Chain A
Amino acid sequence: MTHDTVVIGAGLAGLAAALRLAEEGRRVLVVAKGVGSTHLAPATIDVLGFDGEAVESPAQALPQFAAAHPGHPYERLSVELIAASIEWFKSRLPLSGFRGGLEENVVLPTAVGAAKPSALVPETMVGGDLRAGGPFLFVGLGLKDFYPAYLAGNLAGSGVQARAIELAPPLGRETDVGSVGFARRFEQPAFREAIVRELAGRLEPEERVGFPAVLGIRQAAEVWRELETRLERPVFEVATLPPSVSGIRLFEEMTAALRRAGGRIVIGQTVVGAETADGRVEAVVAEAAARTATFRARSFVLASGGFAAGGVELNSYGKIREAIFDLALAGAATNGRPRFLPTYLEEQPLDRVGVPVDDRLRPTDAEGRPRYENLHAAGATLAGAVPWREASGNGLSLATGYAAAGAILEGDS
């Protein structure tokens, strides 16, 4: 069976491109070696959180940011397009109830109590907006991936009124319960009842209550609303270490929307190569358990991620390589020498390495010409960004996934 578009990668970029194409009636297949970065990162859509200083308004900061960072993916995207991607995304994911937009960043506490600006956040997190000023109460559940006293200490150190308490919720005989285990328990009424009962009488007036982001998976909206109602105050989630429960919700909602729109998704097949002819990609070849599969399509979206996901590789000789098409790479600051600097928190020479693209997000060769006419790239595969430092990860993935789909749709018409 031939598809209109094959998307490689099931992270936010790949899913956004696939969903937009499927909505427009295209036959779309997503092929991924596993679930994507959604399961590792919180579901906040960070468009631009830091440009040296914290960014208050991405809409205002983006033009100057793009101009100051040649080769950054945002150089290829207009603010209007990024704004459109956000509005589209909000409207497609009603369950997550995304709040916010490009005009001003919400500022959420991280699990260590640092402040992180995000353009768009799930409704379950918005109550933690530090701009509201507190007072905040952070609730520990004994989860080993969340330390509310340390979090509150750092917030208090930044002048935010915050404190913490530890609850001992009933976990049965199990003790090493992780985020997903807590999320499942929160979907049980008896567990919520125990939490509410333990909190009763311990809340100060006006206090907003923050939990680790484990308030349910499929019924998160109901769990969160019930807690707000019963505690009679804003309740919010704080993202913490992977696995990311909020990201799992995002993945579930996006893949459900994709299937409803007629898209297909195949997880567990690793795309390892391609068949190409006359400057076009004809098919990609994937390895599954004990066989290979060939997927043909009219166009392709490469959303295989950066170094973390294995979309870009570094070998022991210091050679960097795009893993599937052996595309040209850009963004290495020192021509590969030294590969790394001794100070951890400095920007590293390979941080911006990725695939360079043209205005239609097609990977380009050394001369700046599109390598394949019908191959587009999106997400962390792209060169030029340091999303974990800029706080631009999901924003970049969403906007470039949306834009790659747009380029394919335009090319068709």
Chain B
Amino acid sequence: MAALETEVLVIGGGSTGAGVVRDAAMRGLKTVLVERKDLADGTTGRYHGLLHSGGRYAVKDPEAARECIVENVILRRIASDCIEDTGGLFVSTPWDDPAFGDVFREGCRATGVPVEEIPVAEALRSEPRLNPEISRAFSVPDAALDPWKLVWGCARSAQEHGAQILLYHRVVGLERDGQRVSGAAIRNDLTGEDLRIHADVVVNAAGAWAGQIAELAGCRVNVLPGKGIMIAMNHRLVNTVVNRCKMPADGDILVPIRTVSVIGTTDVRVADPDDLEVTQSEIDEMLDEGEKLVPGFREARALRAWAGARPLFSPEEVADTREVSRSHALLDHRERDGVEGLVTITGGKTTTFRLMAEVAVDAACAQLGVERACRTHEEPLPDSEDGHFYSLGSRLHAREPVPQSEELICECELITRHRLEEAMERRHTANLDDLRRTLRLGMGPCQGGFCSYRAAGILHAVERLDHRAASAALLSFLQERWKGVHPILYGDQMRQARLDDWIFQGLLRVQHLPT
């Protein structure tokens, strides 16, 4: 069996794991990250994309709010290319008690979240689709954060510092050497090969799956997966993050991110973070709540719905996951369970991923008996060195001067053939969904209606795939697209889906491909 030696083994390729691998590598530690699927395939890639100002937690969870605003400021500095500086609003709709605004403002002040009440007319001028009946509006430094760019930025930076990142590598066991975790048994799910990784310290950054990983070492970590559903609406219904000014509840945030706006979310405790169903009643709840923020919401075109599993850590059993702090949890299993060589970092949120990584690597260093300072709050991620925020028009801007210079393979997301081929060569993947996460392939209005066939054909050529592998890539991408589309099919998106049926089942007849 193949074997690897490392100082730090990081389990989990979400924002936390990507933050940990970067931080550890930057401190000069030999580091390997294993992720069972693709980077940001789990919770990180399934969230609404909000860079919290902390306003959302200012009243209910002040500790989380403080962490958020500190990290918000740091991320604007080190991850500017991942951030669109939309700003945020908290508004009192007719369903919200206007008096909560005072509590909210006090909460923000107490936790250091910059807040300013602005005239309703001003809020409506900047966001004309907002409910004109709002009675109060507060401005906070919320922003939109692209989770894929963020995680890949951390991964690239970690690789530049010598770290190794192994995707589609699943942990099947943690190896104990007496009271010490000495490494992990890994299965490469693409090749079926087994790999043993010996590590001086293992950082469990598996998020909602952290309990499952800790259990492999015989430690009990009570992570409650809290299901949150989200709907991406076609178009930017708003260009500012809009929150309801009330205690956090379901369907009270609308985040403009890239070409869409995302409404979220719910919070339901689930047993298995891999089994997240989006129900019709949850969809209806989001749409009805959306109507309160933006009248006509139900008439607007919805693109896609999905669910993510928040990793909520609770020292005790609780019934309502919304009562669990959004703050993170660092568990040093040497102190906690007498098991050396294992640190768990869970809870928290993408906004605070860097801080979580920092405390986790601090703990790992303590176990290794080394003292190295964290530098992740100082050194920008690749592509963020110039400090410029991402802007929505950037892809168009790059293309507009010479509109006929290159073929567009995905017209919705302005992905050129060159860009697609380059990503295929870089990632060496036979999975179109990996390319979606890298490039946003198929994430626009047609949800892969036109680009899926093209991408399969190009993949067949670039990766020299067998025709069966190309067909498998096409079929699994179509299924993956359908998974998110079918819960919200109505209106114009139903028209689109039927056109896609005609293309794939009628014209191409993918269901009759030889297998």
Q: Do A and B interact with each other, yes or no? A: yes
Interface residues of A (CB under 8 A from B): 37, 40-42, 110-116, 144-147, 149-150, 153-154, 156-158, 173-176, 239-242, 306-310, 313-318, 338-345, 387-389, 391, 393
Q: Which 7 A-B pairs rank lowest in CB-CB distance, beginning with the nearest?
A: A147-B457, A153-B467, A388-B506, A344-B482, A308-B498, A340-B486, A114-B509
Beyond the given pairs A154-B467, A388-B505, 8 more chain A to chain B contacts, judged by CB atoms under 8 angstroms and listed by A's residue number, are A40-B499, A112-B513, A150-B467, A153-B467, A242-B499, A316-B302, A340-B486, A344-B481
**Interfacial residues, chain B to chain A (CB-CB below 8 A):** 280, 284, 287, 298-299, 302, 403-409, 417, 450, 453-454, 456-458, 460-461, 466-468, 470-471, 474-475, 478-479, 481-483, 486-487, 489-491, 494-495, 498-499, 501-503, 505-514
Contact, CB under 8 Å: B498 / A150: no
Pair A175/B405 contact, Cβ less than 8 Å: yes
Chain B nearest Cβ from A91, distance in angstroms: 26
What's the Cα separation between A375 and B439 when bound, in Å? 50
Q: Nearest chain B CB to A279's CB is how many angstroms away?
A: 31
Q: Which of B460, B489, B502, B507 contacts A153 (CB 8 A)?
A: B460
Q: Which residues of B contact A310 (CB under 8 A)?
A: 495
> Is A307 within 8 A of B494, CB to CB?
yes
Tell me the minimal C-beta distance from A385 to chain B in angstroms. 12
Give bound CA distance, A345 to B481, whole Å. 12
Complex contacts, B494 vs chain A, CB 8 Å: 307, 313-314
Select which of B453, B486, B489 is within 8 A of A111 by beta carbon.
Answer: B453
> Can you give 18 contacting A-B residue pairs, CB < 8 Å?
A110-B508, A111-B453, A113-B467, A144-B408, A144-B417, A145-B453, A147-B456, A147-B461, A153-B467, A175-B407, A176-B407, A307-B498, A314-B489, A315-B490, A316-B298, A316-B490, A340-B487, A388-B506
- Complex: A60 Cα to B467 Cα, angstroms: 34
* A150, B457: Cβ atoms closer than 8 Å: yes
Which B residues are CB-close (under 8 A) to A338?
A: 280
Residue of A at shortest CB range from B511? A345
B511 — which chain A residues lie within 8 A by C-beta? 114, 345, 389
Neighbour of B454 across the interface among A40, A115, A144, A176, CB < 8 A: A144
- In the complex the two chains form, is B505's CB within 8 Å of A144's CB? no
Residue pair A150, B482 in contact (C-beta under 8 Å)? no
Q: Are B461 and A144 in contact (CB under 8 A)?
A: no
Write the chain B residue with the least CB distance to A152: B467
Q: Which residue of B lies closest to A388 (CB)?
A: B506
Residue of A nearest to B506 (CB): A388
Q: Which of A42, A115, A144, A150 contacts B507 (CB 8 A)?
A: A42
A157 touches B514 (CB 8 A): yes
Chain B residues within 8 Å of A307, by CB: 494-495, 498
Write out the residue numbers on chain A whose beta carbons fall within 8 Å of the beta carbon of B470: 150, 153
Q: Write out the residue numbers on chain B whose beta carbons fall within 8 Å of the beta carbon of A175.
A: 404-407
Known: A112-B471, A316-B491. A344 touches B479 (CB 8 A): yes
Q: Using Cβ atoms and an 8 Å threshold, which residues of chain A touch B508?
A: 110-112, 114
Contact A176 B501, beta carbon cutoff 8 Å:
no
Q: Which of A112, A341, A393 contacts B506 (CB 8 A)?
A: A393
Contact B478 A344 (CB under 8 A): yes
- Chain A nearest Cβ from B290, distance in angstroms: 10
Choose among B408, B478, B507, B514 the residue that contacts A158 (Cβ–Cβ < 8 A).
B514
What residues of B have a CB within 8 angstroms of the CB of A158 in the complex?
A: 514
Decide if B453 touches A241 in the complex (CB within 8 Å): yes
A40:B502 contact, CB within 8 angstroms: yes
B389 → A minimal CB distance (Å): 29
Q: Chain A's nearest CB lies how many Å from the CB of B20? A: 34
Q: Name the contact of B404 in the complex, choosing from A114, A149, A174 (C-beta under 8 A).
A: A174
Query: With A and B bound together, what is the CA distance between A197 and B408 in angstroms?
Result: 28
Instruction: Knowing A157-B468, A316-B298 are in contact, say whether A110-B509 is a contact too (CB < 8 A).
Output: yes
Task: Chain A residues near B509: list those with CB within 8 A.
Answer: 110, 112, 114-116, 391
For residue B466, which residues in chain A have a CB less than 8 angstroms away from its CB? 153
Given A154-B471, A307-B498, A388-B506, A340:B489 Cβ within 8 A: yes
Q: Are B408 and A157 in contact (CB under 8 A)?
A: no
CB of B510 within 8 A of CB of A112, answer: yes
State in angstroms the CA–CA spacing of A146 and B457 once bound together. 8
* Closest chain A CB from B493 CB (angstroms): 9
Q: Point out the residues of chain B lying under 8 angstroms from A114, CB to CB.
A: 508-514
B510 proximity list for chain A (CB < 8 A): 112, 114, 345
Cα A110 to Cα B502 in complex, Å, equals 13
Which B residues touch A146, using CB under 8 A?
457
User: Are B503 and A242 neighbours in the complex by a CB distance under 8 Å?
Assistant: yes
CA distance in complex: A158, B494 (Å): 34
Docked Cα-Cα span, A150 to B298, in Å, equals 41
Task: Verify B498–A147 contact, CB threshold 8 A.
Answer: no
B456 touches A389 (CB 8 A): no
- Chain A residues within an 8 Å CB radius of B498: 306-308
What CA separation (Å) do A37 and B450 show in the bound complex?
16
Contacts of A40 in B (CB 8 A): 499, 502
Min C-beta distance of B107 to chain A, whole Å = 35
Do residues A150 and B456 form an inter-chain contact, with CB atoms below 8 A?
yes
Contacts of A154 in B (CB 8 A): 467, 471, 513-514
Q: Chain A residues with Cβ under 8 A from B454's Cβ?
A: 144-145, 147, 241
Residue of A nearest to B513 (CB): A114
Of chain B, the residue at the smallest CB distance from A115 is B512
Nearest-neighbour CB distance to chain B for A51, whole angstroms, equals 13
Contact status of A387 and B506, CB under 8 A, knowing A157-B467, A176-B404, A310-B495: yes
Tell me the smallest distance from the CB of B234 to a CB of chain A, in Å. 13
What's the Cα separation between A173 and B460 when bound, in Å? 27
Within the assembled complex, what's the spacing in Å between the Cα atoms of A339 and B404? 42
Q: Is the CB of A41 within 8 A of B513?
A: no
Q: Which residues of B contact A241 (CB under 8 A)?
A: 450, 453-454, 503, 507
Contacts of B403 in A (CB 8 A): 176
Residue in A closest to B470 when the chains form the complex, CB atoms: A150
User: Which of B403, B409, B457, B471 gathers most chain A CB within 10 Å?
Assistant: B457
* Closest-CB distance, B231 to chain A (whole angstroms): 11
- A149–B456 Cα gap in the complex (Å)? 11
Among B404, B406, B467, B475, the one with the most A-chain Cβ atoms within 10 Å of its Cβ is B467
* A111 proximity list for chain B (CB < 8 A): 453, 507-508
| Interchain nearest-CB distance for A362 vs B (Å) | 25
- Kindly state the separation between the CA atoms of A376 and B502 in the bound complex, as whole angstroms: 25
Residues on B with C-beta less than 8 A from A343 are: 479, 482
Q: How far is it, in angstroms, between the C-alpha of A353 and the C-alpha of B501 when the chains are bound? A: 15
Which of B284, B407, B466 is most buried by chain A, counting CB atoms within 10 A of its CB? B407
Q: Which of B280, B466, B481, B502 has the most CB of A within 10 A?
A: B502
Are the CB atoms of A388 and B501 closer together than 8 Å?
Answer: yes
User: Once bound together, how far apart are the Cα atoms of A242 and B510, in whole Å?
Assistant: 16
- Check B450 against A388 for contact (C-beta < 8 Å): no
Which residue of chain A lies nearest to B512 when distances are taken between CB atoms in the complex?
A114
Q: Which residues of B contact A174 (CB under 8 A)?
A: 404
Contacts of B489 on A, CB cut-off 8 Å? 314, 339-340
Closest to A344 in B: B482
A153→B513 CA distance, assembly (Å): 11
Chain B nearest CB, measured from A208 CB (Å): 20
A242–B498 CA distance with the chains assembled, in angstroms: 14
Asked whether B408 lies within 8 Å of A308 as measured between CB atoms, the reply is no
Contacts of B478 in A (CB 8 A): 344-345
Determine the chain B residues whose CB is within 8 A of the CB of A341 once the complex forms: 486
The answer to whether A147 and B505 have CB atoms under 8 Å apart is: no
CB distance A342 to B486 under 8 Å?
yes
> What is the minimal beta-carbon distance from A116 to any residue of chain B, in angstroms?
5
* Residue pair A150, B460 in contact (C-beta under 8 Å): yes
Asked whether A173 and B453 contact (CB < 8 A) given A114-B510, A242-B503, A310-B495, the answer is no
Instruction: Give the distance to chain A from B468, nearest Cβ to Cβ, in Å.
Output: 7
Residue of B nearest to A158 (CB): B514
Give bound CA distance, A239 to B511, whole Å: 17
Given contacts A150-B467, A153-B467, A343-B479, contact A41 B458 (CB under 8 A): no
Q: Are B495 and A41 in contact (CB under 8 A)?
A: no
Considering the chains assembled together, what is the distance between the CA atoms of A90 and B362 in angstroms?
79
Whole-angstrom CA separation of A153 from B514 in the bound complex: 10
A112 to B487, CA, bound (A): 28
**Which A residues touch B408, using CB under 8 A?**
144, 176
